C-alpha cells in the first residue's frame, strides 16, 4: 500500500467530478472498436513481414498476454470501482508518484496514437486519391477528431458506437472474403502461377509453407512481431 497518505476514499472523491453518461451498449462497442484499429488494418502487414505465417502464433501470444493483463485489471476494478482506473491503483498500491507517472504515460501514449491514426488515414486515402497531398487528409481528419471530442460525451459515444459497428462489419466482410479466396475462389491465382493444366486454382494453404516455410525469420521474428 502507498504510505504517501492517499487513501482510496480520497482518490474516489477526487475522481467524482467525472460524469458517467455512456450506456453499457456504447461502452461495449467502444471497447470492441478500440481493439480494432490501424494495428489490424495497417500494422498487421508489418507483423507479417517480420514473422511470416508464424504471425498467427505471435497474435495468439499477444492475445494471452492481453487477456492476463485485463483479467488483473478487472479484479482490481471490482475491488476498487473508480473512474481513475489503473492510475488510481498505482497511486494507492505503490505511491502517489507512481500514479502520476502512470496517468501521464497513458496520456502520452494516447496522444502519440492519435498521430499514428491520422497518418494511417492519409495512407489509406492516398490509394483512392493519389493526387491529393497526405497533409490535407491529416489536417481534415484531425479537425474532425477534435470536433467530435469537443462535443458532449453523448455525441462522442454515438459517433464511437457507429464507427465501431462499421469496423466490426468490415472485419466480418474481410474474413468471409479471405475464406472465399483461400478455399474456393476460382480466379484467385492466375493459371500460369497455379501450374500447367491446373487452371486458376484456389490459393489454399500453400503460402504457410512456401517462401521460407512457417518460420521464415525463425522464432526471433515471431517474438518481435508480438
pLDDT tens-place string over residues 100-124: 899 999 999 888 888 888 888 888 8
**51: pLDDT confidence band, cut at 50, 70 and 90?**
confident
Task: Yes or no: say if 64 and 80 are a contact pair by the CB < 8 Å rule.
Answer: no
- Of 10-24, 159-173, 188-202, the range with the highest mean pLDDT is 159-173
SS3 151: coil
Residue with the larger pLDDT of the pair 11 and 170:
170
Report the pLDDT averaged over residues 211-215.
80
Q: What is the mean pLDDT of the chain?
A: 80
**6: pLDDT confidence band, cut at 50, 70 and 90?**
low
**17: pLDDT confidence band, cut at 50, 70 and 90?**
low
Task: Yes or no: say if 225 and 50 are a contact pair by the CB < 8 Å rule.
Answer: yes
**Structure confidence at residue 90 (pLDDT):** 86
88-101, pLDDT tens digit by residue? 888 888 888 988 89
**Structure confidence at residue 35 (pLDDT):** 77
Report the pLDDT averaged over residues 27-44.
79
Run of H or E including 60: helix 55-79
Give yes or no for residue 4 having a pLDDT over 50. Answer: no
- Of 82, 72, 70, 71, which is closest to residue 12 (Cα–Cα)? 82
Report the pLDDT averaged over residues 159-184.
85
- Of 168, 126, 157, which is closest to residue 36 (Cα–Cα)? 168
Unique residue bearing C-alpha cell 515471431: 222
**64: pLDDT confidence band, cut at 50, 70 and 90?**
very high
Amino acid at each position: 500500500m502507498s504510505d504517501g497518505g492517499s487513501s482510496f476514499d480520497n482518490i474516489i472523491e477526487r475522481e467524482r467530478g467525472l460524469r458517467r453518461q455512456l450506456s453499457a451498449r456504447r461502452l461495449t462497442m467502444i471497447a470492441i472498436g478500440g481493439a480494432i484499429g490501424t494495428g489490424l488494418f495497417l500494422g498487421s502487414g508489418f507483423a507479417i513481414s517480420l514473422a511470416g505465417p508464424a504471425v498467427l502464433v505471435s497474435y495468439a501470444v499477444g492475445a494471452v498476454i492481453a487477456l492476463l493483463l485485463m483479467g488483473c485489471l478487472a479484479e482490481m476494478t471490482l475491488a476498487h470501482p473508480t473512474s481513475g482506473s489503473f492510475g488510481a491503483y498505482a497511486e494507492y498500491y505503490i505511491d502517489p508518484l507512481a500514479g502520476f507517472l502512470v496517468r501521464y504515460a497513458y496520456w502520452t501514449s494516447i496522444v502519440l496514437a492519435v498521430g499514428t491514426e491520422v497518418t494511417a488515414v492519409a495512407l489509406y486515402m492516398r490509394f483512392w486519391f493519389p493526387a491529393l497531398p497526405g497533409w490535407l487528409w491529416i489536417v481534415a481528419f484531425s479537425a474532425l477528431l477534435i470536433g467530435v471530442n469537443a462535443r458532449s460525451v453523448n455525441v462522442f459515444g454515438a459517433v464511437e458506437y457507429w464507427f465501431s459497428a462499421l469496423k466490426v462489419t468490415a472485419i466480418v466482410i474481410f474474413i468471409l472474403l479471405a475464406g472465399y479466396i483461400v478455399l474456393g475462389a476460382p480466379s484467385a491465382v492466375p493459371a500460369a502461377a497455379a501450374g500447367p493444366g491446373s487452371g486458376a486454382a484456389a490459393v489454399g494453404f500453400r503460402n504457410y509453407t512456401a517462401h521460407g516455410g512457417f518460420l521464415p525469420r525463425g522464432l526471433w521474428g515471431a517474438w518481435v512481431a508480438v
